[in-house]
Amino acid sequence: MAEDGLVWIYLIFLLIPLSKFLPRLIKKWKMKNSSMPEQVSPDEFQVVNNSPRASSESFDEQTAKESKPKSLDMLVLSELNHGTKNFDALQKHLGIDNETLDSVLEDLEKKGLMRVEQKKGLLGPKVELYPTEKGMKKYFS
């Protein structure tokens, strides 16, 4: 054991790194527990509006309503156009289950709106998803 007069030096060397590490760890833990994505059903993205708009709505509210994705396909295309490349990131951002996302991606690939590239990674093969030219035109139109 160290001499009684030098114990405080050992405490300082222990507490300084801990004081830098502990707040980061707590912040990550809080963010992880507070931002759990909810499961989203495909029906939530179907927008049907047969009624005329009220003239009291402002232009910003009208454009905000029009800019929302009208289907789950468009929502996935949106994420692909914003740079999300892999399946896990898409699932995390959208908060949907595997089967639904898999079927949407298959439909987009069949329609020619998305392409799949297989690449060799450092830890093994990886799959990246990219929107095609047709997919970009459909999203931005």
Per residue in 108-129, pLDDT (tens digit) is 999 999 999 998 878 888 899 9
Q: HSE of 108 in the Cβ direction (CA atoms, 13 Å)?
A: 30
How far apart are alpha carbons 91 and 114 in whole angstroms? 16
Confidence of residue 52 (pLDDT cuts 50, 70, 90): very low
Statement: the pTM of the whole predicted model exceeds 0.85:
no
Which tokens belong to 48?
């049907």
Confidence of residue 140 (pLDDT cuts 50, 70, 90): confident
- The percent of residues in the chain predicted with pLDDT above 90, rounded, is 21
Burial level of 120, CB count in 10 A (0-12/13-18/19+)? exposed
Q: State the pLDDT at residue 54.
A: 43
SS (HEC) of 74-132: HHHHHHHHCCCCCHHHHHHHHCCCHHHHHHHHHHHHHHCCEEEEEEEECCEEEEEEEEC
Q: State the pLDDT at residue 23.
A: 80
